[in-house]
Structure 1
Amino acid sequence: MTLVRRTAAALVAALAGALLVAAPGSGVAPARAAEGRYAADIRRTEYGIPHISAKDHGGLGYGYGYAFAQDNLCVMASWALTLRGERSRHFGAEARSDDVADPISNLASDVYYKSVQASGALRRVLARPAPHGPSAALRALVNGYVAGFNRYLSDTGVARLPDPACRGKAWVGPITAADVWMNLLDLGRLGGSSQFKEAIAASGQSQGKRPSKRVNAPGSNAYALGREATRGGHGMLLADPHFPWNGSRRFYQVHLTIPGVLDVAGGSLYGTPMVQIGHNASMAWTHTVSHAQRFTLYQLELAPGQRTTYLVDGRPEPMGRQEVTVTVRDAKGAVKPVTTTLFTSRYGPVLANGWTEETAIALADANAVNLRFADEWLAMGAARDVSELRRAQETYQGMPFVYTLATDVGGEAYFADASVVPHVTDEQAERCRAKDDPELLILDGSTSDCLWGEDADAIEPGIFGPAAQPRLTRADYVANANASPWLTNPEAPLTDYPHIYGNVRRMRDLRTRVGLDMIAQRLSGDDGLGAPGFTLETLQKTATGKRNLSAELLRPDLRALCRAEPVMTASDGEKVDVRRACDTLAAWDGRARLDSRGAILWREFFMGLNGPQRRPDGSIAPPKSWWKVPFDAEHPLTTPRGLDIAHPVVRTALADAVQFFTANDVPLTLTPGQAQRYGAVPVPGCTEGEGCFDRIRTGGSLSTDGRYPDVNTGSSFMMAVELTPAGPRTRTVLTYSLSASSASPHHADQTELFSRGQWVTERFTEAEIRAYPQLVTTSLR
């Protein structure tokens, strides 16, 4: 075996051990809450936004933990139970976990997290020196965060917590540093192991069905505008992450300052004591979810007659075995231990799905023991320009599942997929592919020749180094809406990267197309917003214009069909008069504003176009495109387009939509403001499938009363930044507001702003903060 193969084998073995090999405890001691070690000031401005300052990282974490607990203690207390694998003890095994991105049973969740704890993965990564393990500054930040969080809980008391969601609950208690580190580790696995929690937790109960990954991954939009795209000649940035509106994956808005060391403001995911999307005085950055794969699956060839032994290079290897015990509370309140047997391989955990008498499937996750991204975010927050941000990314090489887009006051616009990606070349993928699966890369695990490779510039074996990563620096712009890197800037298509990073010359989704068209129209001045080029104000208006690209592309042809056929046949055979509906759609403004009459009717019609098509005998017909002009890789931003009105699904979809509205007395003019809510607040917007940029997603279908379930994901922390020599000019809106507590005055105040299309003018400088007339300061010593 070559040196490359030996190091790759060592890495894969480490990943396997990190996921499932038993080890005693996490090895992480709770943060010491010696109050004299920490000092911080918390100043709150409009909408409760905290500006936290301290003289060192420990104090900064202390202030941040305290402030976050004031607003969201209940969410973190519940999530800590999840990370410890203790939900079944308190809420029963069958109840669903609190992971809104991937809710599974408490028992499956507990087994998964207990296995991660027992593996010793956290202990091992924390024992490593930086940059492979956390830096001293990051450790101090985490310890301070825990101490500050617990200080608030101690000062307030569980019985006196303002949030009724957990006031007086027996399951609420202090958090530990292990909880915060586990939260970070779990965040890193979001694009890998976390998508297979059930299959990992049930590996001892093998199932023959094929493995599949979850499809609830969050998304985002991002523009990094360079000096040639802005009226002022400086960098500008739009951040529009699309993350869940509930639970532990929400953003918290915060401003963190250590004089002379760090001064960064932006969005920070719950329970993470650093900014993930933000800006400082001269540089701004954001992320979108990358198309690259974070893992590969390996098909194991089982030894004849031995379902827990597999062959590699013809030699048998027994699977590792782990007993995981979870404490479960039954319906009568009695608790009992439940033990589950899990299995692992040299590649990683063996999944329940895909396990037959001949083969099994193992998971190799490139982020299994990755915490480097936490220090990377700290370094990015301190970077003065794009060059320093790039050096930070090359130092840590830890971004877990996201692209990075950044710009600076000099007007340099930068895109990179600087994320952790398994080193699988196109040649190796073709040679080692064990199954032809359109969703998952399944490699041949029976030969060591299919282990991940190595780059000389990579921080560790088994992943691609910076030289292989898709990158682009421009003076005009870079943009992404979760598509592959190909059309980051259509004037300079990116094509020279391994296929595991994403595709090229494939059809772009409508959200990507509308986002790039918005830039093109602003640069040409054809969008009605004035002279060409971006200003802060036109960037805000562009981002929240509520365009619906599917309507722009399809409505003219639908009008022609309506004129020709005023009566259409629904899928149940009923004849439906569609004239009033067609008049409504013709009069609709084509947007998804609160008062856009006909926007919901269009959505229901468009969803019908894309739904399963049944033959008269009840069977599902194979899909046939209803686009009039098919996709052309030479014209990816203008194709496909037009509606093939000869396609039978078009008439059926419109008739079905009209039938539903009329049968339930739902007005055809139903607006987003009437149909979409978050609590009591009406929410504008439409779905990404329709071609909406700042999209929203609801928790289900339109009901017979004309309402969708509450919005549960979509535009979350929106930030528009103009970087000027005099300092940043920034507008933000946290769509679901700062606090998850229904008792907080900041539970829905920014949601109401978002509903009205308004933004918050950020206070970043000391003078701006002090000028706030209702400034509230909490000094912690």
Structure 2
Amino acid sequence: MIRRWGGALLALAGVLATSLPADAGQGPVIRRTSYGIPHIKAADYQGLGVGLGYAFAEDNACVMADIAVTLSAERSRWFGPEAATKSGENNLVSDLYHQRINQSQVIERLLAAPRGPSRPARDLVRGYADGFNRYLAKTGAANLPDAACRGAQWVRPITEIDVWRRAYQVAAFDGGEAFQDMIVSAQPPGASVPAPAAAPLRRPEDIGSNAIAVGKAATAGGTGMVLGNPHFLWPDDWRFYQQQMTIPGELNVSGAGLAGLPLVNIGHNDRMAWSHTSSTVQTATITKLTLAPGSNTSYVVDGQMHPMVAEHVTVSARQADGSIAPVTRTLYRTPEGPVLEASGPLEWSGTNAFVLHDANAGNLRTIDQWLAIARSRNVSDLNAALIRHQGLPWVNTIAADDTGTSYYSDIQVVPHVTDELQARCGTGPEIGRVVLDGSRSACGWGSDPGTVAPGLLSPSKLPSLTRQDYVSNMNNSPWLANPAAPLTGYPAIVGNAGTERSPRTRLGLDMIADRLDGSDGLGTPGFTLSTLQATMFGNRNLTAEQGRQSIVAMCQANPTLVAHDGRPVDVRAACAALAAWNGRGDTGEAGRGAFLWRVFMNMARRPDINLWKVPFDPADPARTPRDVNAGNPDVRQAFADAAQLFAAAGVPVDVPLDAIQSYAGIPIHGCSGPEGCFNVISVPGAVGRTSEISHGTSYIMAAELTKTGPRMRSLLVYSQSANQASPHHTDQTRLYANKQWVTGLFTEQEIARDPNLTVRIVPS
């Protein structure tokens, strides 16, 4: 009895201690629970921002400093113009691109606009910068725990503008950020600056994500559930960071936000959970200019000549001798946006040039948008928040609430490009993006009443779906959010309908169907929190399920196959590796053969190869195409090519995934999206070449919304801190490797009971 009361008193003491800031008027408090997860509590938004900025700095001061250097266009000054950012862009290109934005004062203008960010958003940003700076002042750059920037001259206090620049960068991720090289390299014919080799046109599957929201008709307990599985970039500057944000009586939200943002982008409150996936919406279009005769920097609209605006952009760059010298580049723009160029179809010629028209170029609404999502009490509130702010950039939203209602929408920033406009004004080249004729003013974006900015489609024209069973998205268009209720009638710029879905989408729909009828071997039909977790880590591979056995039968009957170069290839070892493989993206002995299958699929899925026996059927889109056509000579040749590639690189065909994909030496299970994997892990590079994980499963959230509160399990795959010396650099990574989860702590009582709880008030 004494022991029982003692535990209760300790828990009560923890609750009282963690409630002090709101009750006693003290500063923001950081409560850290197991795995270093901070739960920030404050009396107002500015105090909340202080706690968030301080906690993030404790874990990732070098990440925030690096973000600030990038967005201040100072990478060439500190690291040299030829080096690269964490995401792989050339430093000089990055600096010139961001300096163009900074000297345009677009962020300052958006902040000063009558419909600019709200007071809570401004206070949150102001506090975040203050919190980071408090940590830096207390610790000192020379004493930072992370050797990556300890004592570095480029580590400095950050400003509110640095944080707003980060919000703007995230909004432009699928727009200007994706076209940096093409914008900086755009020069009139005859200029000495070379154009980039190709157009880096990002597709949704390049950044990816899965999300499933389950309603009461599909859950064992009649609750709502959400599985969030963003496949985002792994480099430090784009990491997710897990946190809880609490202002008593005003805001209480837990989840993960992108580094450098005082937000929860994917998470839950006490009654609703949500996630996002990369949308097929083209948030930026290309305008094809017709140049004026005799001028490479003037263009014609409705017969009238207009000069491009020349912008002289200067940045500082470190020279080989250590000195600093200015580098100036003249960039060009029109009122629609910057001129861009790539060799080939988007080349700036004597007759045509091309402009990027980005719908998010005026979007500084993201912080208010995600705050409104976090405050939503149900999916109806969420829908209203998306319509009110129209601030989500390039993502779908998938959610469920404690009434057992699931929700999908693609309500976000979408250019007003109707099908009629595309038919009337669409022009070449065919590059996978909408290209509009810039020689006619009637070919500009249209307008709708009720939008927060000109040139956007009204939310009423964008797809959404509310269901009691489920909705989902795995980066294909909205069409099959639920195959029982296909979404149609939206403009083509949002996405297609009636077309083949990716193997990953088909696998996701199959996983849901198997759970609903109980055929997945996980027990009684219907989702529970544990079966939602098990579904995530099943590591199924759809193409392997559809073809491994037939390929094995083929190669057992044909131990020698002919490669594309005409050479015979002994495929017996490769055949044996696939025969022994379990067909899943697992590490350890079970995963031997998984990488061979990945390489083979990369070769066999070429557009000129008929891979499937059963072709796509619009009447059966979730299950077609299917069955790998092992009898196709092209498929057999692809298998021979794969085996030949391993032999040439000196890599065993049964190399385990452990040797291919790891983080800090810890094997990472999962496989690539094009194979038809749900748990995506992407490792670029050829056979025999070691590469770091570029993107994939990052923050995972399985949440159940019950009438008594949320139940949540999560994993931040690369853990909370980018600092290799931190105890929280790999602690969650080890859990992920063993398919274990972190139990979410949300209420005051749950937080107080954590055995590793630490509580402290942020110093002033």
Shorter-chain TM band:
over 0.9
Query: Please, which of 33, 38, 58 is the counterpart of residue 50 of structure 1?
Result: 38
Which residue pairs with 1:215 in the alignment?
A: 202
Which residue pairs with 1:347 in the alignment?
A: 336
Q: Does 1:115 align with 2:100?
A: yes
CA contact (8 A) 1:350 1:363 kept: yes
- The CA distance in 2 between the partners of 1:198 and 1:600, in whole Å, is 32
- The CA distance in 1 between the partners of 2:175 and 2:653, in whole Å, is 43
Give CA-to-partner distance per residue, 1:347-406, whole Å, 9 cap, x none: 211123421111111111110010112101001101111111111111101111100011
Give CA-to-partner distance per residue, 1:38-97, whole Å, 9 cap, x none: 821001111000000000000000000000000011011111111011111111111112
Query: Please, which of 591, 595, 599 is the counterpart of residue 594 of structure 2?
Result: 599
- The CA distance in 2 between the partners of 1:421 and 1:287, in whole Å, is 16
Q: Does 1:458 align with 2:451?
A: yes
CA 1:315–1:646 in structure 2 vs 1: closer, same or farther (change >3 Å)?
A: same
CA contact (8 A) 1:679 1:710 kept: no
Q: Does 1:703 align with 2:688?
A: yes
- The CA distance in 1 between the partners of 2:647 and 2:293, in whole Å, is 62
Q: Does 1:443 align with 2:452?
A: no
Matched to 2:437, the amino acid is D
Q: Does 1:227 align with 2:216?
A: yes
Which residue pairs with 2:759 in the alignment?
A: 777
CA contact (8 A) 2:187 2:348 kept: no
Give CA-to-partner distance per residue, 1:109-133, whole Å, 9 cap, x none: 111111101111111100123xx31
- The CA distance in 1 between the partners of 2:147 and 2:198, in whole Å, is 40
Query: Please, which of 166, 169, 172 is the counterpart of residue 189 of structure 1?
Result: 172
Q: Does 1:642 align with 2:642?
A: no
Which residue pairs with 1:523 in the alignment?
A: 516
Q: How big is the shift at 1:209?
A: 8.6
Matched to 2:694, the amino acid is N
CA contact (8 A) 2:605 2:611 kept: no
Which residue pairs with 1:255 in the alignment?
A: 244
- The CA distance in 1 between the partners of 2:112 and 2:198, in whole Å, is 34
Q: How big is the shift at 1:488?
A: 0.5
Alignment of 1:1-80 (within 5 A): 39-80=27-68
Give CA-to-partner distance per residue, 1:621-652, whole Å, 9 cap, x none: x8232222221222212211122234333222
Q: Does 1:729 align with 2:718?
A: no
Q: How big is the shift at 1:244?
A: 1.5
Query: Please, which of 117, 138, 142 is the counterpart of residue 121 of structure 2?
Result: 138
SS at match of 1:367: helix
CA contact (8 A) 1:205 1:352 kept: no
Q: How big is the shift at 1:664?
A: 5.7
Q: How big is the shift at 1:522?
A: 0.1
Which residue pairs with 2:71 in the alignment?
A: 83
Q: How big is the shift at 1:246?
A: 1.9
Stretches of structure 2 that go unaligned for 5 or more consecutive residues are 1-23
CA contact (8 A) 2:413 2:456 kept: yes
SS at match of 1:764: coil
Query: Please, which of 548, 554, 569 is the counterpart of residue 561 of structure 1?
Result: 554
- The CA distance in 2 between the partners of 1:38 and 1:350, in whole Å, is 52
Query: Please, which of 640, 646, 663 is the counterpart of residue 678 of structure 1?
Result: 663
- The CA distance in 2 between the partners of 1:236 and 1:545, in whole Å, is 18
- The CA distance in 1 between the partners of 2:442 and 2:495, in whole Å, is 23
Which range moved further: 501-510 or 593-602?
Answer: 593-602
Q: How big is the shift at 1:559?
A: 2.9
Alignment of 1:754-765 (within 5 A): 754-765=736-747
SS at match of 1:350: strand
- The CA distance in 1 between the partners of 2:700 and 2:508, in whole Å, is 15
Alignment of 1:464-483 (within 5 A): 464-483=457-476
Alignment of 1:305-454 (within 5 A): 305-353=294-342, 354-454=347-447
- The CA distance in 1 between the partners of 2:565 and 2:626, in whole Å, is 29
Query: C-alpha root-mean-square deviation of aligned residues, in Å?
Result: 1.8
Matched to 2:596, the amino acid is L
Q: How big is the shift at 1:436?
A: 4.5
CA contact (8 A) 2:651 2:688 kept: no
Q: How big is the shift at 1:37?
A: 11
- The CA distance in 1 between the partners of 2:675 and 2:218, in whole Å, is 27
Matched to 1:201, the amino acid is V
Q: Taking structure 2 as the reference length, what is the TM-score of the superposition?
A: 0.93
- The CA distance in 1 between the partners of 2:641 and 2:174, in whole Å, is 37
CA 1:210–1:152 in structure 2 vs 1: closer, same or farther (change >3 Å)?
A: closer
- The CA distance in 2 between the partners of 1:539 and 1:209, in whole Å, is 44
Which residue pairs with 2:284 in the alignment?
A: 295
Which range moved further: 591-600 or 137-146?
Answer: 591-600
SS at match of 1:414: strand
Which range moved further: 597-606 or 134-143?
Answer: 597-606
Q: How big is the shift at 1:556?
A: 3.0
Which residue pairs with 2:642 in the alignment?
A: 657
- The CA distance in 2 between the partners of 1:270 and 1:445, in whole Å, is 38
Q: Taking structure 1 as the reference length, what is the TM-score of the superposition?
A: 0.91
- The CA distance in 2 between the partners of 1:154 and 1:174, in whole Å, is 8
SS at match of 1:70: helix
- The CA distance in 2 between the partners of 1:38 and 1:174, in whole Å, is 24
- The CA distance in 2 between the partners of 1:59 and 1:285, in whole Å, is 25
Which residue pairs with 1:25 in the alignment?
A: none
Which residue pairs with 2:507 in the alignment?
A: 514
Which residue pairs with 1:687 in the alignment?
A: 672
CA contact (8 A) 2:662 2:668 kept: yes
Give CA-to-partner distance per residue, 1:136-195, whole Å, 9 cap, x none: 001000000000001101100111111000001111111111110001001101111112
CA contact (8 A) 1:38 1:62 kept: no
SS at match of 1:649: helix
CA 1:667–1:143 in structure 2 vs 1: closer, same or farther (change >3 Å)?
A: same
- The CA distance in 2 between the partners of 1:508 and 1:368, in whole Å, is 30
CA contact (8 A) 1:409 1:723 kept: yes
Q: How big is the shift at 1:662?
A: 4.9
Q: How big is the shift at 1:605?
A: 2.0
Matched to 1:241, the amino acid is P
CA contact (8 A) 2:34 2:755 kept: no
- The CA distance in 1 between the partners of 2:440 and 2:95, in whole Å, is 33
- The CA distance in 2 between the partners of 1:664 and 1:355, in whole Å, is 40
Which range moved further: 743-752 or 344-353?
Answer: 344-353
SS at match of 1:104: coil
Q: How big is the shift at 1:689?
A: 1.1
Which residue pairs with 1:167 in the alignment?
A: 150
CA contact (8 A) 1:457 1:467 kept: no
CA 1:198–1:665 in structure 2 vs 1: closer, same or farther (change >3 Å)?
A: closer
Which range moved further: 526-535 or 430-439?
Answer: 430-439
SS at match of 2:290: strand
Which residue pairs with 1:12 in the alignment?
A: none
Give CA-to-partner distance per residue, 1:509-545, whole Å, 9 cap, x none: 1110100100000000000000000000000000110
CA 1:392–1:449 in structure 2 vs 1: closer, same or farther (change >3 Å)?
A: same
Which range moved further: 433-442 or 710-719?
Answer: 433-442
CA contact (8 A) 2:650 2:688 kept: no
- The CA distance in 2 between the partners of 1:108 and 1:598, in whole Å, is 40
Which range moved further: 652-661 or 729-738?
Answer: 652-661
Matched to 2:290, the amino acid is E
Which residue pairs with 1:615 in the alignment?
A: none
Give CA-to-partner distance per residue, 1:188-223, whole Å, 9 cap, x none: 011111121112222335578997343374110000
Q: How big is the shift at 1:699?
A: 3.2
Give CA-to-partner distance per residue, 1:638-691, whole Å, 9 cap, x none: 211122234333222222333444566644433222432112101111111111
CA contact (8 A) 1:568 1:576 kept: yes
CA contact (8 A) 1:87 1:93 kept: yes
- The CA distance in 2 between the partners of 1:563 and 1:670, in whole Å, is 20
Number of matched pairs: 728
- The CA distance in 2 between the partners of 1:760 and 1:83, in whole Å, is 34
Which residue pairs with 1:716 in the alignment?
A: 698
Q: How big is the shift at 1:299?
A: 1.0
Which residue pairs with 2:19 in the alignment?
A: none
CA contact (8 A) 1:570 1:655 kept: yes
Q: How big is the shift at 1:577?
A: 2.8
CA contact (8 A) 1:80 1:179 kept: yes
